[in-house]
Amino acid sequence: MHFTSWDRSDKERPTLLVGRGPEELASFTASGAEVDSQHWRTEVDEQLGASATSDDGRTYRLAGNLKKDKTLQASLEGRTFSLVNESGSNWVIFDVNDHKVAQFSGANNGVREAILEFANDEDDSDPDSALELSRQEVAALSWFSRVVLENRLSQRSVAIIGTLVLLSAVAVLAVLI
């Protein structure tokens, strides 16, 4: 499998790398990206999904509730993909023919690196499942995977903080009584 990863040394402008680098595929900010010398406008809505639109009008969308849905639908200029939460923080991306395209995970610092591993055509036992992705499509799927992981992490963080606050209150009451 080949993969993309993120260099977050500049927190305001994380860079999408081919493999672990040094080749850069894109750099992102809170509201945009530079992908192959083209500017993208990016938007994220945790209830509706995410979208990226290039200056030449190409649109990449991820539809679904980023915090709750087990399956999200990606549309990359007419090509459809499903991001399926298989278990816990493990995700698989399938094409319209249910062939595995890529996978990513939030486990083991997965949110920090947000590595997206692509299925390797040479290792695939089904030659009909080979799928060519453009650099822009790879960048979009990589960004979508990062957005999904970040939104899922914030949901877990709120739950953990809430639990800790509740347990602290119980501990204080136990000491006072």
Question: For 41-96, what is each residue's pLDDT tens digit?
Answer: 999 999 999 999 999 999 999 999 999 999 999 999 999 999 999 988 899 999 99
Q: Per the structure, how many domains does the chain have?
A: 1
Q: What is the pLDDT of residue 107?
A: 82
Q: Which domain holds residue 136?
A: 2-176
In sequence order, the 6+-apart residues with CB closer than 8 A to the CB of 9 are: none
Cα–Cα distance between 169 and 65 in angstroms, integer?
A: 32
